[in-house]
Amino acid sequence: MTNYPNMFAPLDLGFTTLKNRVLMGSMHTNLEEVGDWYRIAEYFGERAAGGVALMVTGGMAPNVEGGVFPGASGLFSDTDIANHKIVTDRVHAEGGKIAMQILHAGRYAYNHKAVAPSAIKSPISPFPPAELDADGIEKQIADFVVASECAKQAGYDGVEIMGSEGYFLNEFLVTHTNKRTDEWGGSFANRMRLPVEIVRRCREAVGPDFIIIYRISLIDLIPNGQTWEEVVTLAKAIEAAGATILNTGIGWHEARIPTIATSVPRAAFAWVTKKLMGEVSIPIITSNRINTPEVADSVLADGCADMVSMARPFLADSQFVAKAAAGKADQIAPCIACNQACLDHTFSLKTSTCLVNPRACYETELNYGPAETTKNVAIVGAGPAGLATALVAAQRGHRVTLFDMADKIGGQLNIAKQVPGKEEFFGLVEYYIKMLEVYEVDVRLGRRAAVDDLIDFDEVVMATGVTPRDPEIKGQDGPNVVNYIDVLRDKAPVGNRVAIIGAGGIGFDVAEFLTQQGESSTLNLDEWKAEWGVGDPAITRGGLAASGPKPEAAARQVTLLQRKAQKLGKGLGKTTGWIHRAALAMKDVDMIGGVNYEEITSEGLHISTGEGRENPRLLEVDTVVLCAGQLPERGLADALEAKGITAHVIGGADVAAELDAKRAINQGSRLAASF
């Protein structure tokens, strides 16, 4: 009996069969821009070997004007085709299938050559697009056709035509961005002409035995988005034009509703795909926040789709499907949907990787092969840095002992998981518990490791983490002052009016924790939809609820403060910072920058502004929470050094500034790969 019968059912496409119902969705990793095609081949090859039925590449521009940014990868020359062939050959050698995504960015192009149905600048690119004339539109169609022919020549099993997320084809569909009065604008029949024509002509060019996936926007989540009737009309026309599969797109990039962040409930949009089931006869794929085999199988069992798309989970674990098939789902490294090492990197023009798996996109240089000599390794600290070191060292065959003075592993991960919207951290800690057991790490908890405990080891690793920084504010020893650990871990009592000192990642987390009323909306889809204003696209255009966002009232009145005179939350994740700011704004959190902390008294927090300490003011609050950053905890490392024992110092114990789990896990994994 297969563990996940729906997920592992083959899918017959007529001319070819997919071995299971799992698609690795398109992700732009910036690997193509690095230009090392053997590295790209290894990245996809490892995932093909891991059993996924079909993969989709990152978006390839069909022409220069459609590139997401100047120099974005595309398929233009014989050399390009030969390079892509290195990848497709590698994937086929592993028994996999791969389709190339054709992505025309339209008005989202970060590119002064950007083109669009109408000359309307997008809020997320500084470049106003030029309006295409009739010849220009013909050229775009021809370029899509050439791209699909080149993809076939390069050995791809198919193409995915990107028609969602607010890119070029999506822009034609709605009056928000299409103000044309010719045959490509006006009525919906005219507005949908371009995507349908592109699918029809691509099919004509590539012949019948080639997969064409069309990524259709099912819920635009923008003002004046498509109606459900329009979505269904388009889906039927795309099927008739020759598409093999419909994949789901959710929300435009400019939408102000989160669609894939960790605070979005799992499978939050599967219900939208389900509405389309039965309207067309080709297979439909659902996507967004599906990150475990259980969730994937259950959305299929519920009839939400014929197939599931997961993208980031394949960065976290290339062997996702193989482990699920082998009954080892609890050994799958979970994608926690943080975006920190994938999308945040992509949008900073850095190579993507994964917070929980630093090997992602580094498959040719970071490997965990068997160690030449088996060593006894001691690791002090079972937070992210220590856990990653322990796991990789043990996987390589070392004998590992892991010490932590807490009575459970996880370190700061256990603090993060308390925050509403960060429940995925529970799964990450569970994963490490399981993997330490599988690789027989000797875990010693509940006692502070001493120098004598560490003498007989070949390698000693200090991953002792951080301690809260002392902000040295007058009155901070008062009974009305606590720090973030007291609040998040020890559940210290906190009054109704709160001032939070420090607006870094932890200050924001504490504000979300203290304003949350009852259960986190991440665990309650209906509540989450109401909170962000997601409606049924059959009732309201684009799926924006007519009544707008309806957040729950805040549990407390919170003021978040920092000394820097800049926007609060500027240093948060590039693709997620806006969500944290919006979430706190919905809870009426007052955000104040540019302050001096004068004194804490029983009345509250006294502040002033500017170098001249002007505008003295009392914030009348019941509790002040200190979230003023962190310092390295390296007392034991110093004691070891005094005894002549050299330890590797990693994670927060090494550098506390801007420490996050991404850097900790990366550093620990790379260290353990080196000895």
CA-CA distance, 270 to 308, in Å (whole number)? 9
- What sections of 118-192 are H helices per DSSP? 134-153, 168-173, 188-191
Structure tokens that stand for 356 in this block: 């929980």
User: What is the three-class DSSP state of 596?
Assistant: strand
519 interacts with ligand NAP by CB under 6 A: no
156 dihedral zone (left: phi>0; alpha: psi -120 to 50; beta): beta
Complete DSSP assignment for 12-24: E-SSSEESSSEEE
Residue placing its CB nearer to ligand SF4 in the complex, 354 or 462: 354
- When binding is defined by CB under 6 A, the residue of 185, 397, 471, 549 that contacts ligand NAP is 471
Cβ-count burial 89-99 (b if 16+ within 10 Å, e if not): ebbeeeebbbb
* Among ligand NAP, ligand SF4, none, partner that 627 touches (CB below 5 to 8 angstroms by kind): ligand NAP
In angstroms, give the least distance from the CB of 540 to ligand NAP.
Answer: 31
* Among ligand NAP, ligand SF4, none, partner that 659 touches (CB below 5 to 8 angstroms by kind): ligand NAP
CA 419 to chain centre: 17
* Among ligand NAP, ligand SF4, none, partner that 309 touches (CB below 5 to 8 angstroms by kind): none
428 interacts with ligand NAP by CB under 6 A: no
The number of residues that bind ligand NAP (CB under 6 A) is 23
583 interacts with ligand NAP by CB under 6 A: no
469 interacts with ligand NAP by CB under 6 A: yes
* Among ligand NAP, ligand SF4, none, partner that 503 touches (CB below 5 to 8 angstroms by kind): ligand NAP
574 interacts with ligand NAP by CB under 6 A: no
Instruction: State how beta strands 623-626 and 481-483 pair.
Output: parallel
Stretch that binds ligand NAP, among 66-74, 143-151, 299-307, 506-514 (CB under 6 A): 506-514
* Among ligand NAP, ligand SF4, none, partner that 342 touches (CB below 5 to 8 angstroms by kind): ligand SF4
* Among ligand SF4, ligand NAP, none, partner that 312 touches (CB below 5 to 8 angstroms by kind): ligand SF4
CA-CA distance, 501 to 498, in Å (whole number)? 10
In angstroms, give the least distance from the CB of 502 to ligand NAP.
Answer: 3
In angstroms, give the least distance from the CB of 337 to ligand SF4.
Answer: 5
| DSSP code of residue 250 | E
- When binding is defined by CB under 6 A, the residue of 166, 386, 502, 535 that contacts ligand NAP is 502
Cross-strand pairs, 163: 216
221 dihedral zone (left: phi>0; alpha: psi -120 to 50; beta): left
In angstroms, give the least distance from the CB of 435 to ligand SF4.
Answer: 15
CA-CA distance, 655 to 664, in Å (whole number)? 10
Residue 219: enclosing H or E segment and its boundaries?
A: strand 211-219
In angstroms, give the least distance from the CB of 419 to ligand NAP.
Answer: 8
- When binding is defined by CB under 6 A, the residue of 128, 186, 504, 549 that contacts ligand NAP is 504
CA-CA distance, 54 to 309, in Å (whole number)? 9
* Among ligand NAP, ligand SF4, none, partner that 166 touches (CB below 5 to 8 angstroms by kind): none
- What sections of 466-576 are H helices per DSSP? 484-488, 505-515, 525-532
* Among ligand SF4, ligand NAP, none, partner that 339 touches (CB below 5 to 8 angstroms by kind): ligand SF4
User: What is the three-class DSSP state of 619?
Assistant: strand
In angstroms, give the least distance from the CB of 617 to ligand NAP.
Answer: 17
* Among ligand NAP, ligand SF4, none, partner that 195 touches (CB below 5 to 8 angstroms by kind): none
* Among ligand SF4, ligand NAP, none, partner that 563 touches (CB below 5 to 8 angstroms by kind): ligand NAP
627 interacts with ligand NAP by CB under 6 A: yes
512 interacts with ligand NAP by CB under 6 A: no
Confirm whether 167 is a catalytic residue. Answer: yes
Structure tokens that stand for 450 in this block: 């001493």
The site for ligand SF4 (CB under 6 A) is made up of 312, 315-316, 335-342, 354-356
Stretch that binds ligand NAP, among 16-24, 44-52, 200-208, 628-636 (CB under 6 A): 628-636
* Among ligand NAP, ligand SF4, none, partner that 573 touches (CB below 5 to 8 angstroms by kind): ligand NAP
In angstroms, give the least distance from the CB of 476 to ligand NAP.
Answer: 10
Cross-strand pairs, 399: 376
Complete DSSP assignment for 651-675: GGGT--TT--HHHHHHHHHHHHHH-
- When binding is defined by CB under 6 A, the residue of 125, 292, 480, 562 that contacts ligand NAP is 562
Single out the catalytic residue among 156, 167, 214, 484.
Answer: 167
In angstroms, give the least distance from the CB of 469 to ligand NAP.
Answer: 6
- What sections of 439-576 are H helices per DSSP? 484-488, 505-515, 525-532
Residues 6 or more apart whose Cβ sits within 8 Å of residue 176: 222, 223, 224, 225
Residue placing its CB nearer to ligand NAP in the complex, 283 or 507: 507
Residue placing its CB nearer to ligand SF4 in the complex, 338 or 625: 338
CB 388 within 8 A of CB 668: yes
Of 33, 669, 644, 105, residue with least CA distance to 333: 669
- When binding is defined by CB under 6 A, the residue of 506, 511, 525, 589 that contacts ligand NAP is 506
In angstroms, give the least distance from the CB of 563 to ligand NAP.
Answer: 3
Of 500, 521, 492, 622, residue with least CA distance to 579: 521
| Residue nearest ligand NAP by beta-carbon distance | 504
> Residue holding tokens 């459970």?
408
In angstroms, give the least distance from the CB of 19 to ligand SF4.
Answer: 24
- Terminal CA-CA length for the chain: 42
Residues 6 or more apart whose Cβ sits within 8 Å of residue 493: none
In angstroms, give the least distance from the CB of 626 to ligand SF4.
Answer: 28
600 dihedral zone (left: phi>0; alpha: psi -120 to 50; beta): beta
Determine what percent of the chain falls in helix, strand and coil, rounding each to the nearest 5.
Answer: 35, 20, 50
CA-CA distance, 48 to 380, in Å (whole number)? 37
- When binding is defined by CB under 6 A, the residue of 509, 512, 633, 654 that contacts ligand NAP is 509
Stretch that binds ligand NAP, among 43-51, 81-89, 182-190, 626-634 (CB under 6 A): 626-634
CA-CA distance, 88 to 94, in Å (whole number)? 10
572 interacts with ligand NAP by CB under 6 A: yes
In angstroms, give the least distance from the CB of 305 to ligand SF4.
Answer: 21
Give the x-and-dash track for 630-649 against ligand NAP (CB under 6 A): x-------------------
CB 73 within 8 A of CB 81: no
411 interacts with ligand NAP by CB under 6 A: no
Cross-strand pairs, 246: 214, 284
- When binding is defined by CB under 6 A, the residue of 558, 628, 640, 665 that contacts ligand NAP is 628
505 interacts with ligand NAP by CB under 6 A: yes
CA-CA distance, 423 to 566, in Å (whole number)? 30
Q: Which residues bind ligand NAP (CB under 6 A)?
A: 469, 471, 501-507, 509, 562-564, 571-573, 627-630, 658-660
Q: Point out the residues that are catalytic.
A: 167
